[in-house]
Chains A and B, each alone.
Chain A
Amino acid sequence: MAFINLKKKEVQAKIVYYGPGRGGKTTNLEFIYKKYKSRIPTDMVAIKTHGDRTLFFDFLPFDIGTIKGYSVRMQLYTVPGQVKYNATRKLVLRGVDGIVFVADSMQLRREKNVLSLKNARENLAAYKKDLTKIPLVMQYNKRDLGEQGIPLLSVETLQQDLNADLNVPFFEASALEGKNVVETLKKIISLTMASLSKDLT
């Protein structure tokens, strides 16, 4: 749930990067952290397992600037993608205001994408939230791997698998190269601000 201080004209909202393990959620945040370091008041908090995977979550507070007269800060989170950490994923989704679903474009990750999206629906339902109502952006990540001959899912297939009923904005991206990372972020901030706008009047 966003924190809105009408008196101080401040807004704090929570955006969660969700998706299957090794899909590039943390890489998105790392790119944002490197690119906009000056607007990030603290270090990126990343808690890792031994194998450099996200165990708990990554957390990045990000000062956006003034929108509609309000000083806006977004709290960006990632969740651990591996199946065994569902309790943490559920916890991180508490109070979420917007979601970026980072799908892995590799062919062999097709089922994992679908399962992860299903898992997001279930975990949101536990907080009486509906994936079809919450601000959501799809990011089809690792598109760059196609150039190295790694078989990728077509955007049509990804759309059919993940976005057919949701019909939300989507981006083809390469988090490692930073392609469409900022565009994804801008879109989810925009949608989140639009959903909060009724509280900002």
Chain B
Amino acid sequence: MDADRPSSNKEVDDQLEYLFAETQSADAGLDPESQPGPLRDLKAIFLAVDWEINDDIMNALLRQIDALKNTFSGDRIMMLFLQLLEAVGKYVKGKKAHAHPDAIKLLNSIYTSLEIVSLSKGMTDAERKKILRIEVNRFQRLKDKLARKKAVEKAAALPKKDAPGESPPEEIPPALRYVLQEVRKVIREEFAAFKAEFKS
């Protein structure tokens, strides 16, 4: 090491060892090394998804989910987790890099919860359901976001009734263009109402 660079101090190192070890022991029960075979394969695929999303990886993910459905066919909660993973996985496969960023987060989050539910010994059904419900709610929120996004895009794609000179420049994003159109419409209506009132 460079002579000018500070080197570690044993006293500080010992103190850090103690400070970090104290918390580490609290969650030692979730060691990823302790995963059984099927989940281990799924985790490997998730690592690949983190790096790149392509047809091969997403097909492998969906195949692995299918295989796990056989493994956990008698466990309704695990089956629901797998169905959630499958739904989001199919969406991501279809959209790839254009998928909503929350979808990738959700995919990871569902997997993490599935891992907790599957690996935590002694967890009651109520606790497992509670974790599942959190993921279902997240899934629902993503669905709502996607529906809203689609509605905005659809509205923005509608043919414009404005005169050619009035149309906004091309570089304005569709969502903003839609808002501008709405604002113009309101101003026009207000102005028409004002004119009608003034005449009467």
Interface positions of A (Cβ within 8 A of B): 22, 35-36, 38-39, 48, 50-52, 64-68, 106, 132-136, 142, 144-145, 147-148, 150, 166-169, 176-178, 182, 186-187, 189-191, 193-195, 197
Check if B32 is an interface residue, CB within 8 A of chain A.
Answer: yes
Contact B12 A67 (CB under 8 A): yes
Contact B48 A166 (CB under 8 A): no
- Selected from B7, B9, B20, B32, the residue in CB contact (under 8 A) with A182 is B20
Check if B92 is an interface residue, CB within 8 A of chain A.
Answer: no
Contact B2 A132 (CB under 8 A): yes
Q: Which residues of B contact A134 (CB under 8 A)?
A: 5
A67's closest neighbor in chain B, by CB? B15
Contact B23 A38 (CB under 8 A): yes
Q: Which residues of A contact B50 (CB under 8 A)?
A: 176
Q: Would you list 25 pairs from A and B whose C-beta atoms are within 8 A, ordered by A residue? A: A38-B23, A48-B101, A52-B101, A52-B104, A64-B16, A65-B15, A67-B12, A67-B16, A68-B12, A132-B2, A132-B5, A133-B5, A135-B5, A142-B51, A145-B51, A147-B44, A176-B50, A186-B16, A186-B17, A187-B8, A189-B16, A191-B8, A193-B9, A194-B6, A197-B9
Contact A182 B24 (CB under 8 A): yes
SS class, residues of chain B in contact with chain A? helix
- Selected from A39, A132, A148, the residue in CB contact (under 8 A) with B44 is A148
Query: Least Cβ distance of A82 to chain B in Å?
Result: 15
Using A167-B2, A186-B16 as known contacts, say yes or no to A194 and B7 having CB atoms under 8 A apart: yes
Query: Least Cβ distance of B178 to chain A in Å?
Result: 18
B22's closest neighbor in chain A, by CB? A65
Contact A195 B44 (CB under 8 A): no
- Selected from A168, A193, A197, the residue in CB contact (under 8 A) with B5 is A168
Chain B, 18-46, CB within 8 A of any chain A CB: 19-20, 23-24, 27, 32, 44
Q: Which residues of A contact B11 (CB under 8 A)?
A: 68
Q: Which residues of B contact A150 (CB under 8 A)?
A: 48, 51
Using A35-B23, A182-B20 as known contacts, say yes or no to A190 and B5 having CB atoms under 8 A apart: no
Contact A135 B6 (CB under 8 A): yes
Q: Which residues of B contact A189 (CB under 8 A)?
A: 12, 16
Check if B193 is an interface residue, CB within 8 A of chain A.
Answer: no
